[in-house]
Amino acid sequence: MRKGTVRTRSVTALALLASCAAVLGGGGPSGAAPAATVGTAAPQAAQEAQADPCDIYRSVPPSSEDGPAVKAIKAKRSLVIGVDQNSYRWGARNPNTGQIEGFDIDLARAIGAAIMGDPDKVVLKPVATADRVDAVQKHRVDLIVRTMTVNCKRMEDVAFSKPYFNITQRVLVPRSSPVKSVDEAINGKTVCAAKGSTAFNVLNDKKTAKALTVVENQLDCLVLMQLGKIDATMTDDGLAAGQAAQDQTVRIVDGEVQPEVIGVAVSKDSPDLTARVNQVLADYYASGAWRSSYERWLKPYMLNEADHYWPGTAAR
């Protein structure tokens, strides 16, 4: 496989939008990864992972052992996981229950339950798109589980787990717009993307938009489109479909950009924590819990059932 790219399998997960801050704990099974491998030494694993930093599928081997980073987290009696608060069915507060919930939240709670053994010791902390890398590097959170694309540039700053989902970038426009393709929707137009997002990087590289409007969170782009201040929004396909479901006056343009994968972000100085996360992902997928979470949160909204499922033929 070509390094630095993902195999051309896409996710088209539909995610309704919601917003609310949340800091809470929870437990339960979740995850997704290849078959489990237990007990690999973290320092050696870290060296192996660094041997090819541009292979976005490469991560430290799974391990159930507690290394220094995991022991330090247990000693402070709190695992802090950065999550989204703007994407219903991925991560948002349910107004009826007051609980934050979604596909990524199931995964975050699964990791927390496996590492801490007590859901009351897990804190879910909302983190803005633009702050994800900084939050990990400065140890404001221990992990990020927030539809975070794995790419070579980010791998220079943080470590990633094995991927747990496929995505692509998509473009939204007002339903009244006559455009029929991604290029037509972007070229010479005012386009919105979240700061620090893959969409921002794609648009910045293309340099075909008349103007690039940058916001803290992708939900802000929908508001700007409703106000008529932008012509289009680029975001990953799950979030794009969520915006289209939230607001019937916008639609997704035909065509996808840059197939990618999502992973859990961890500090590069905590390879044993990354190994533990990979073990949770492996166990979670093997148990069927990944599939159960997917069917609960995302399957009813999928536009292309055949192409979203990461651990199948796309796994390495």
Give the mean pLDDT of 60-86. Answer: 96
C-alpha–C-alpha distance, residues 30 and 240, integer Å: 24
Work out the number of other CB atoms within 10 angstroms of the CB of residue 125: 20
Query: CA-based angle 272:138:193, to the nearest 5?
Result: 105
The pLDDT of residue 117 = 93
DSSP helix/strand/coil, 72: helix
The β-bridge partners of 212 are: 191
Rounded to whole angstroms, the Cα distance separating 83 from 87 reads: 10
pLDDT at 206: 93
Is pLDDT above 70 for 45?
Answer: no
* Mean pLDDT value of segment 120-128: 93
Structure tokens at 279: 């073990």
* pLDDT-wise least confident of 50-64, 76-90, 150-164: 50-64
Q: Is the pLDDT of residue 126 over 60?
A: yes
Q: Please check the confidence at residue 12 and state whether its pLDDT lies above 80.
A: no
Q: What is the mean pLDDT of residues 264-285?
A: 97
Q: What single letter denotes the amino acid at residue 92? A: A
Query: Residue 181, Cα to own-chain centre: how many angstroms?
Result: 25
Phi, psi angles (nearest 5°) of residue 181: -140, 165
Under 8 Å CB-to-CB from 212, ≥6 apart: which residues? 190, 191, 192, 193, 200, 203, 204
Q: Band the pLDDT of 168: cuts 50, 70, 90.
A: confident
Give pLDDT, residue 85: 86
Note the pLDDT tens digit of each residue in 217-240.
888 999 999 999 999 999 988 788
The percent of residues in the chain predicted with pLDDT above 90, rounded, is 59
Which of the pair, 86 or 149, is modelled with greater confidence? 149
Task: Report whether 113 contacts 122 (CB < 8 A).
Answer: yes
Give the confidence band of 88 by pLDDT, cuts at 50, 70, 90: confident
C-alpha separations of 269 from 70, 203, 279 in Å: 12, 31, 18
Q: For residue 202, give the 3-state DSSP assignment.
A: helix
Buried b (16+ CB within 10 A) or exposed e, 7-35: bebbbbbbbbbbeeebebbbbebbbbbbe
Separation CA 197–CA 203 (nearest Å): 10
Contacts of 96 (CB under 8 A, 6+ apart): none
Residue 77, helix vs strand vs coil: coil
What b-and-e string marks burial along 220-232, b requiring 16 or more CB atoms within 10 Å of the CB? bbbeebeeeebbb
Structural domains of the chain ordered from first start = 42-164+262-301 (3.40.190.10), 166-259 (3.40.190.10)
Residue range 261-273, pLDDT digits in tens: 999 999 999 999 9
Question: Is the pLDDT at 123 greater than 90, yes or no?
Answer: yes
Q: What region does 221 belong to: left with phi over 0, alpha with psi -120 to 50, or beta? A: alpha
Residue with tokens 């929908």: 222
Residues 6+ apart with CB under 8 A from 75: none
Out of 50-54, 108-112, 215-219, the most confident range is 108-112
What pTM did the predictor assign? 0.76
d(CA 257, CA 181): 11
